[in-house]
């Protein structure tokens, strides 16, 4: 992707850049031509996941012992960026590889890791995490789904919504109350196979953007799983979520920064070609000044994200820093896309244009992974 930024990127090593070329070719060959079909189907086909697995593009951070490449977060960030640069929408690789799989690698027993992680790397098993509920979004302490212990089994009852990879997933990390009276101290994480009796998927949710992202409801009606499906320790789930949510939020920030950069480059190209009143749109001072403002803000975003990327590759990124990155980058992206879309005139309202898809696809970034308001609350607690 051509860029209008001049900031030198030094966070990545040569092995990261080699992966970037592989990812770029894969997206151009296997994903971009299928985007329209995915949008119509409301989900990405499984063969694309299997091909990504064969090329080593899934779960790059999983240890070689479990079939992965043992990469650092820089490898994940390269994949996230290239998907954003390519304009591919609805591909659930990031959630699968960089949000859910780390729970299993960090908290799973040897048996759990041996059973699931190699198939996550190959794409044979697709992962989802079931947190949000109809009455509980960012407030995870308010979840009502329960997992009642009966002998050597948990009996799970409840409903979940806004579950990404919800239609395709084979394994779900379910956030449930194992001690309903204990609030946040009664939350556990439990692995639930999609083949379990009593588990069913609801409707595919009709979203404003990301048509190819299979976001669905889930229902658990007396779903029985063995106690061995518990992930980590019982009633420690809330603490686990708080630790892993930092990476989820930074994933969103990395994605948003790349999209901001890509749409600035795309809009600059467009206004230099589009003619109005006998001159290009770029020839108007208002256009040049607006692009200059957005370039300055995009550069500030890039510097922030790359600095935090270095920290996270060294496993030093804090919960507060991840919250600041998500808050600042997604809010700046939202403002920039509105201004860039305006420079397209009427064509900015047509879904065939990249700016329009970006506008609707990225609005959710200020919501999922914790709303901007929740990010402010987390940041303010450290002040």
Over the range 125-138, which residues count as b (16 or more CB within 10 Å of their CB) and which as e? bbbbbbbbbeebbb
pLDDT band for position 28 (50/70/90)? very high
Question: For residue 95, what is the DSSP state?
Answer: I
Nearest to 105 by CA among 63, 134, 168: 63
pLDDT 10s digits, 147-163: 999 999 999 999 999 99
Kindly state the percentage of the chain with pLDDT values over 70: 99
> Is residue 373 scored above 90 in pLDDT?
yes
- Active-site residue, 248 included: yes
- pLDDT of 193 above 80: yes
Give pLDDT, residue 4: 83
Which pLDDT belongs to residue 326? Answer: 98
pLDDT of the residue at 135 = 83
pTM of the model: 0.94
Q: How confident is the model at residue 1 (pLDDT cuts 50, 70, 90)?
A: low
Mean local confidence (pLDDT), 95-104: 96
Question: Catalytic: which of 82, 248, 321, 332?
Answer: 248
Average pLDDT over residues 272-294: 97
Q: Please give the structure tokens belonging to residue 234.
A: 């019982």
Helix (H, G, I), strand (E, B) or coil at 155: strand
Distances (CA, A) of 220 to 24, 143, 180, 190, 194: 39, 14, 16, 12, 10
When the pLDDT of each residue in the chain is averaged and rounded to a whole number, the result is 95
Query: How far does the chain reach from its first CA to its final CA, in angstroms?
Result: 39
- Model confidence band, residue 136 (pLDDT cutoffs 50, 70, 90): confident
Q: Which two tokens stand for residue 189?
A: 């994480």
Output the six-digit token pair for 59.
Answer: 């779960």
Q: Find tokens 């996941």 and name the residue.
A: 49
Q: What pLDDT does residue 142 have?
A: 82
Whether 358 has a pLDDT exceeding 80, the answer reads yes
Q: Which long-range contacts (CB under 8 A, 24 or more apart) does 115-121 make?
A: 116/171, 116/191, 117/59, 117/62, 117/66, 117/67, 117/68, 118/66, 118/67, 120/58, 120/59, 120/62, 120/96, 121/53, 121/58, 121/59, 121/62, 121/66, 121/67, 121/68
Please report the pLDDT score of residue 2 as a whole number: 62
pLDDT at 62: 97
């Amino acid at each position: 992707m051509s860029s209008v930024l001049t900031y030198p990127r030094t966070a990545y090593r040569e092995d990261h850049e080699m992966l970037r070329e592989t990812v770029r070719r894969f997206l151009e060959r296997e994903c971009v031509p299928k985007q329209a079909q995915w949008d119509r189907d409301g989900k990405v086909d499984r063969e694309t996941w299997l091909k990504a697995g064969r090329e080593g593009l899934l779960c790059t951070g999983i240890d070689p012992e479990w079939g992965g490449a043992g990469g650092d977060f820089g490898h994940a960030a390269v994949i996230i960026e290239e998907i954003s640069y390519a304009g591919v929408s609805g591909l659930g690789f990031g959630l699968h590889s960089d949000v859910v799989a780390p729970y299993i690698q960090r908290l799973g027993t040897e048996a759990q890791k041996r059973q699931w992680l190699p198939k996550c790397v190959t794409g044979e098993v697709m992962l989802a995490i079931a947190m949000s509920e109809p009455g509980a979004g960012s407030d995870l302490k308010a979840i009502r789904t329960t997992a009642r212990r009966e002998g050597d089994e948990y009996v799970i009852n409840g409903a979940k919504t806004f579950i990404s990879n919800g239609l395709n997933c084979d394994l779900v990390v379910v956030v449930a109350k194992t001690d309903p009276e204990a609030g946040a101290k009664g939350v556990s994480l439990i692995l639930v196979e999609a083949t379990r009796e009593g588990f069913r998927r609801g409707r595919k949710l009709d979203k404003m953007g990301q048509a190819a992202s299979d976001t669905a409801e889930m229902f658990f009606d007396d779903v029985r799983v063995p106690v061995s499906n518990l992930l980590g320790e019982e009633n420690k789930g809330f603490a686990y979520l708080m630790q892993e949510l930092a990476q989820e939020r930074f994933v969103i920030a990395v994605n948003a920064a790349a999209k901001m950069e890509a749409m600035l480059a795309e809009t600059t190209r467009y206004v230099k070609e589009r003619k109005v009143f006998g001159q290009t749109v770029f020839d108007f001072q208002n256009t040049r000044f607006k692009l200059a403002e957005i370039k300055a803000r995009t550069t500030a975003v890039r510097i922030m994200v790359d600095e935090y990327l270095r920290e996270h590759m060294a496993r030093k990124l804090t919960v507060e820093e991840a919250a600041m990155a998500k808050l600042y980058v997604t809010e700046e992206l939202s403002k920039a896309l509105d201004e860039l879309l305006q420079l397209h005139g009427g064509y900015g309202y047509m879904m065939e244009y990249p700016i329009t898809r970006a506008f609707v696809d990225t609005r959710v970034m200020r919501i999922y992974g914790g709303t901007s308001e929740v990010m402010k609350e987390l940041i303010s607690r450290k002040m």
